Chains A and B, each alone.
Chain A
Amino acid sequence: MTAFPISLFVYMDICMCIGFYIYVFRKKKLIGFQLGMNISNVMGGMTALLSGIVLIWQFPFHFTAITILSALTGALTGALFGLLFDYQTFITGLTNGLMIGIMSPMLGAVLEVPFLFLLFLHGLFFATLVTILISIQRS
C-alpha cells in the first residue's frame, strides 16, 4: 500500500531536481557567488537526505551500500550545481553533500514513523525551493 506514494515521491523529486537544474542553468549569469554557494549547499544536502532516508526505509539490510550510494548522490548533486558557478562553489557543494549523505541513513534507521517524517521532509524541500526561486527573482 505504501509502495505507491514512495515511488511517486522519488519520481517527483528526480523531476524537480532536473527541472531546477535546467532553470538555474538558464539564469546562471544573474546569480552571484554567494547565492550560488547557498544553492549548491541546499540542493546537495536535500538530495542526500531524501535519498538516504527513502533507501534505508526500503532496504534495511544493506546499510553499507546505502551509505556509499547516498554519499555519492549528495556529492554528485552538490558538485553539479556548484560547477555552474565557480571552483570554490564546487568544492563546498561536494563536501557538504558528502557529509549529509553519510549522516542520512543513520537518521533514517532510527525513525519510528517514517512516512510522516518523509511528508515533513518534502514540505521542507518545497519551502527551500520556493525560497531559492524568490531570491533568484530578486537578484
Chain B
Amino acid sequence: MVLLFIIICCVWNIIGVHLVYRLFKKKHMLFDDRFTMTMCMTAAMIHSFSVALHLELVVASLNKFLFLCPILIGIWIGWKFGSILKNPARLTGIYNGSIGGLMGTMLGAVIQNPSLCSIPVVSDGVIALNMYILSIFFTIVHFKIAVFIRYSFTI
C-alpha cells in the first residue's frame, strides 16, 4: 500500500519534470546569462533531488544492487537541463544535478534504515509512516517550486 502510493508520487514528479523541461525547450531563446545560471541551479537541483528520493524508496526495496541508479538519473537530469541552454551552463547543471541525486539517495537510505545515522529505531510501522510523510512533503515542495519556476517566465 505504501509502495503503491510512493510509485504514484514518483510518476507525478516525473510528469512535473517533463513539463518544466518542455517549457524550457520551447522558450530557450529568451534566456540571458544570469537567468540561465539561476534556472540551471534551481531546476536541476530540486528536480533531481525529488526524482532520486522517490526512485531510491521504490527501487532499493526491490533489489539492493540498484543503489547507483538514482545518482545516475540525477546526473542525467542535470545534464539534460544544462544542455538545453548555453554551453557553460552544462557544468552547472551536471554539478547541481549530482548534488541533488546524492542528497536524495542519502535521505532515502536513512529513512529506510535509521540505524545508519545512529537514530533509534522504533518499529517497522513507524518507518513506513516516515516514508509516507516525507514522500508527501517533498512532492508538495517539488510542485510548489515548479510553480515558482513557471511563474518566473511571466516576470
Q: Which residues of A contact B (CB under 8 A)?
A: 33, 60-61, 63-64, 67-68, 71, 87-88, 91-92, 94-95, 98-99, 102-103, 106, 109-110
Contacts and interface: CB of A to CB of B under 8 A. Distances in A.
Interface in B130-147: 130, 133-134, 137, 141, 145
6 contacts: A61-B120, A63-B119, A67-B134, A92-B41, A95-B41, A110-B117
Given A64-B111, A102-B49, 10 more contacts: A61-B120, A61-B122, A64-B130, A87-B152, A87-B155, A88-B35, A92-B38, A92-B42, A98-B46, A109-B118
Interface in B1-45: 34-35, 38, 41-42, 45
Nearest to A41: B41
B106 interface: yes
B119 A88 contact: no
A91 B148 contact: yes
A64 B133 contact: yes
A88 B130 contact: no
A115 B119 CA distance: 18
A116 B41 CA distance: 33
Nearest to A89: B38
Interface of B: 34-35, 38, 41-42, 45-46, 49, 99-100, 103, 106-107, 110-111, 114, 117-120, 122, 130, 133-134, 137, 141, 145, 148-149, 152, 155
A39 B120 CA distance: 36
DSSP class of B's interface residues: helix, strand, loop or mixed?
Answer: helix
A33 B122 CA distance: 47
A106 B114 CA distance: 10
Contacts of B155: 87
Contact of A60 (B120, B141, B145): B120
